Amino acid sequence: MIDKRTYLNLKKEIKNLCRQNVIKLCDDMQLNTDEKELLMSFYDDDSRTSTCMKLSIGEMYYKTHLKQIFNKIYDYKNTFK
């Protein structure tokens, strides 16, 4: 697990990427469709509630899996340094 500061910095970094780079990151990491949709919804700055309604998931699922996705991204980035 990553610490809170790293998590928040990673969220800022993802928000500052262009859309094509986020899509490329998803493809390079081979995220499944649910993970990709969740990350793109986060990137598009959709609210938690609208994302949960659109993807038919609960808020705990949203929170837990978004953290897991950011952990995967952090691991992926640190693997190729």
Q: Write out the chain's pLDDT in tens, 81 residues.
A: 789 999 999 999 999 999 999 999 999 999 999 999 999 999 999 999 999 999 999 999 999 999 999 999 999 988 865
- The pTM of this model reads 0.88
Closest to 43 measured CA to CA, from 27, 20, 65? 20
Compute the distance between CA of residue 23 and CA of residue 40 in angstroms, rounded to an integer: 8
Range of the domain at 50: 4-79
Q: For the chain, how many structural domains are there in total? A: 1
* Whole-number Å distance between alpha carbons of 40 and 22: 8
